[in-house]
Amino acid sequence: MEQKNNYSIIVPTYNERLNIALIVYLIFKHLRDVDFEIIVVDDGSPDGTQEVVKQLQKLYGEDRILLRPRPKKLGLGTAYIHGLKHASGNFVVIMDADLSHHSETGASIVTGTRYVRGGGVHGWNLMRKLTSRGANVLAQTLLWPGVSDLTGSFRLYKKSVLEDVISSCVSKGYVFQMEMIVRASKKGYHIEEVPITFVDRVFGSSKLG
pLDDT, average across residues 105-116: 80
Task: Give the alpha-carbon dihedral of 111, 207, 13, 44, to 10 degrees.
Answer: 150
Highest CATH level, class, for 7-198: alpha beta
Q: Are 8 and 36 in contact (CB under 8 A)?
A: yes
101-105, 158-162, 175-179, 204-208, range with greatest mean pLDDT = 158-162
Backbone angles phi, psi at 66, to 5 degrees: -105, 120
- DSSP 3-state assignment of 8? strand
Helices and strands per DSSP (H, E), number in the chain: 6, 10
Over residues 20-41, the pLDDT tens digits come to 998 999 899 988 889 999 999 9
According to DSSP, residue 51 is labeled: H
- Tell me the C-alpha distance between 20 and 3, whole Å: 31
Over residues 58-89, the pLDDT tens digits come to 999 999 999 999 999 998 889 999 999 999 99
Q: Are 157 and 91 in contact (CB under 8 A)?
A: yes
Domain ranges of the chain: 7-198
